[in-house]
Amino acid sequence: MKLQKHWYKIAAVLILLYVLVAGLLVPLKPGIMSVEPYILKSNSVNKIAVEGYNSHYTEEEKTLKVWLKLDSLKGIEASNVKVIDDNNLEATFSFGSRFPADKTTGTLLVHSENDGTAVLPNFRLINQEQVGSQSTTDGAVTNLPNIFYTKPGWQFPFRPLLHETIRNTFFHVAIWMAMFFLATVSLVYSILELRNHNPLTDIKAASFTSITILYGLIGIATGSIWAKTAWGAFWTADVKLNMATVAILVYLAYIILRSAIQDQDQRARVSAAYNVFAYLAMIPLIFVIPRMSSVDSLHPGNGGNPALGGEDLDNALRYVFYPSIIGLILLGIWMSNLRIRVESLLNKET
Amino acid sequence: MQSVNRVFLLLKKDITLEFRSLYAIGSILLYVVTTVFIVYKAFGTLEARTWNSMFWVLFLFASMNATLRSFSKTSSENSFFNYSYINPSEFIISKILFNLLFLVLIASLTFVVMSVFFEHPVQDFSLFSSGAFLACVGASILCSFSSAASTQGASNATIMSVMSLPLTIPILLIAIKISLQSMNLINDSTISSDYMILGGIILVMFGVTILLFPYLWKS
């Protein structure tokens, strides 16, 4: 067995093992699951129940601080914090004066020394008139102290709604990237086939395309499961889903086209031309149309949503996300090579 | 300039051949009237949205039927002659232009016949016709490409529909959106970007067809 020929298979297995282990076992940062009620009124005593995730409120009771952030400088501190258990606490905001008129939402911050700061945005603020004569003016807008930081160490970010499903980034997003790589390889083989006719390049292009389709189907399936938990339905009217479906249909037509033509020479030429056409028609479908701000999309980076990268693609995610792409590409090449061998053996038989 | 002349010469030849037999125009007329009549008997009246979808479905299948034969007409001796005397890009451009004329005819015929049986819901006529025209351009490029690919050797209608149907989806989706806008069924202020996407797709397809056709032609 020659090692030079097989190194990429070993690399694929090792990288994917690392992705599975790290991607599923590295914990999430402490976060805030829910707050009840999700609203804060002025001129009254607000008791809110906070449910934390991966938090250690009982251990951290002494350093626990709850703040409502109004902007990058100003905030209101909770007058009283009562810890119920590790994941539940009750904070009291009593706020006498009115909220600044231009502020309708605030951000809830729960900070402790070892857990860092957990954040819940879009907390609603409501101004109401003073009821009765009792004054509750012990809370006021003050400057935010400079104590907030996120928990150091290798943990995946906690995002509202996504929670643990953020790990699907390593599988759902990475498999689409790998799919594009394989489709590009197949395109290159198709161009080679058009320039110098060689039965082997035709088989290579077809094999890479079939693995591309497989990856596309897995990409749709993983995305569908993710959509069920994050958006509430297996299929939504998202433009990216529609375009991905069209792209899969275009590639399925490639397979049907190949089986419809008997003559080997003609099949090679027609399917290579179709592959080039399909690839170039697929690029605007997936890269351009969903990115326009005029369309509705729930995907990050599409339909005017903020893009993946920046805030969303945390460094902790990158350590697993990039290796996952490489591992899936290597696995795809491995599978394609197996198909190439099967196809060329079948070719010899006939 | 000379190649433009040659393209128009080829186009003129196709049109002359067509008018000599009138077979294609007649069959399209029959097709459109029959399908619209079936739709009329099946639906009775049509809402604007249904009108729009029926129009595009009828247009799609009529255009498939019509452009399928744009290469199968040429016999093998004839194509050998073409191959040795005509530049492939000029040939495919003349075919695209011919199919475009044909598709515009089909679209307007479908529109007129449907307007006779049902009242047409189009409010902004320039928007509707420009969207339909762009869809015709895209579909003619696509149909010329796939009929060129499928009619080499054993001609096969299945191959052509397999090749062109999934690829027409993006063109038709945008055209349907533009026509919905023209009927005031949706209100989209960014309709100009749809024109840009459609134009971009058409340009890409045109370039790729010109590049790939010489390879498809050799048989």
Q: pLDDT tens digits for A128-152?
A: 766 555 555 556 677 777 777 777 7
Strand, coil or helix: A71: coil
Using a CB-CB cut-off of 8 Å, the residues of chain B touching A291 are: none
Nearest-Cα residue of chain B relative to residue A282: B167
Using a CB-CB cut-off of 8 Å, the residues of chain A touching B212 are: 194, 273, 276-277
Q: HEC profile for A138-155?
A: CCCCEECCCCCCECCCCC
Q: Tell whether A49 is within 8 A of chain B (Cβ).
A: no
Q: Is A30 within 8 Å of A149 (Cβ atoms)?
A: no
Strand, coil or helix: A67: strand
In whole angstroms, how far apart are CA B165 and each of A143, A240, B156, B207? 63, 20, 15, 20
- Write the CB contacts of B69 (distance below 8 Å, at least 6 apart in sequence): B24, B147
Alpha carbon distance B130, B181 (integer Å): 12
- Predicted confidence at residue A146, as pLDDT, reads 76
Instruction: Quote the pTM value.
Output: 0.84
Residue with tokens 């170039």: A280
Which pLDDT band holds residue B35 (cuts at 50, 70, 90)?
Answer: very high
Nearest Cβ partner for B204 among A242, A253, A284: A284
Q: Respond yes or no on whether ipTM tops 0.85.
A: no
Q: What is the CA radius of gyration of chain A?
A: 27
Q: Tell whether B167 is within 8 A of chain A (Cβ).
A: yes
Q: What is the CATH number of domain A31-143?
A: 2.60.40.10
Nearest Cβ partner for A246 among B170, B190, B193: B170
Token pair recorded at residue A247: 């792209």
Q: How far apart, in Å, do the first and last CA atoms of chain B sit?
A: 29
Token pair recorded at residue B74: 């040429």
E strand or H helix at B62: helix B48-67
Q: Do A270 and B197 touch (CB under 8 A)?
A: no
Nearest Cβ partner for B216 among A250, A270, A293: A270
Q: Do A257 and B163 touch (CB under 8 A)?
A: yes
In whole angstroms, how far apart are CA A157 and each of A102, A166, A230, B147? 30, 8, 16, 53
Residue B161 belongs to domain spanning? 2-217
Token pair recorded at residue B6: 């040659």
Q: Is A139 within 8 Å of A95 (Cβ atoms)?
A: yes
Neighbouring-strand partners of residue A36: A49
Across the range B68-95, mean pLDDT stands at: 74
Alpha carbon distance B174, B197 (integer Å): 8
Alpha carbon distance A107, B181 (integer Å): 40
Q: Do A260 and B159 touch (CB under 8 A)?
A: yes
Using a CB-CB cut-off of 8 Å, the residues of chain B touching A281 are: 167, 170, 201, 204-205, 208
- Predicted confidence at residue A221, as pLDDT, reads 93
Alpha carbon distance A125, A12 (integer Å): 51
Q: Do A253 and B209 touch (CB under 8 A)?
A: no
Substitution target from A238, A274, A275 for chain B, most B beta carbons within 10 A: A274
In angstroms, the separation between the Cα of residue A196 and the nearest Cα of chain B is: 11
- Predicted confidence at residue A16, as pLDDT, reads 94
Q: Do B152 and A274 touch (CB under 8 A)?
A: no
- Predicted confidence at residue A245, as pLDDT, reads 87
Alpha carbon distance B148, B217 (integer Å): 8
Using a CB-CB cut-off of 8 Å, the residues of chain A touching B154 are: 262-263
Chain-centroid distance of CA A212 in Å reads 21
In angstroms, the separation between the Cα of residue B60 and the nearest Cα of chain A is: 17
More confident residue, A126 or B58: B58
Residue with tokens 């900070």: A111
Across the range B145-153, mean pLDDT stands at: 72
In angstroms, the separation between the Cα of residue B124 and the nearest Cα of chain A is: 21
Across the range B191-210, mean pLDDT stands at: 88
pLDDT tens sequence across A234-270? 988 777 888 888 889 889 989 988 888 888 888 888 8
- Predicted confidence at residue A138, as pLDDT, reads 58
Substitution target from A201, A262, A269, A291 for chain B, most B beta carbons within 10 A: A269
Token pair recorded at residue A62: 């002494």
Find residues 181-200 of chain A whose CB sits inside 8 Å of chain B.
194
Q: Tell whether B203 is within 8 A of chain A (Cβ).
A: no
In angstroms, the separation between the Cα of residue A217 and the nearest Cα of chain B is: 17
Q: Tell whether B149 is within 8 A of chain A (Cβ).
A: yes
In angstroms, the separation between the Cα of residue A290 and the nearest Cα of chain B is: 11
Q: How far apart, in Å, do the first and last CA atoms of chain A sit?
A: 29
Alpha carbon distance B48, B54 (integer Å): 10
Helices and strands: H and E segment counts in chain A: 6, 10
Strand, coil or helix: A85: strand
Name the residue among A129, A34, A123, A130 with its Cα closest to residue A75: A123
CB atoms within 10 A of CB A209: 28
Alpha carbon distance A324, A305 (integer Å): 24
Number of domains chain B is built from: 1
- What is the full per-residue pLDDT of chain A (350 aa) written as tens digits? 677 788 899 999 999 999 999 989 988 888 888 888 888 777 778 888 888 888 888 888 888 888 888 877 788 888 888 888 888 888 888 777 777 777 778 888 888 888 888 888 877 888 776 655 555 555 667 777 777 777 777 888 887 778 888 888 899 999 999 999 999 999 999 999 988 888 889 999 999 999 999 999 999 999 999 988 888 889 887 778 888 888 898 899 899 888 888 888 888 888 898 899 889 877 777 777 776 655 666 777 665 555 554 445 667 888 899 999 999 999 999 999 999 999 999 888 76
Q: What type of residue sits at position A60?
A: E
Using a CB-CB cut-off of 8 Å, the residues of chain B touching A292 are: 190, 193, 197
E strand or H helix at A75: strand A74-77
Q: Tell whether A241 is within 8 A of chain B (Cβ).
A: no
More confident residue, A171 or B19: A171
Q: Is A187 within 8 Å of A275 (Cβ atoms)?
A: yes
Averaged pLDDT score across all residues of chain B: 84
- Predicted confidence at residue B77, as pLDDT, reads 64
- Predicted confidence at residue B34, as pLDDT, reads 93
In angstroms, the separation between the Cα of residue A296 and the nearest Cα of chain B is: 12
Q: Do A294 and B212 touch (CB under 8 A)?
A: no
E strand or H helix at A88: strand A88-95
A74-77: strand order across its sheet:
A39-41, A116-126, A105-112, A65-69, A74-77, A142-143
- Predicted confidence at residue B156, as pLDDT, reads 63
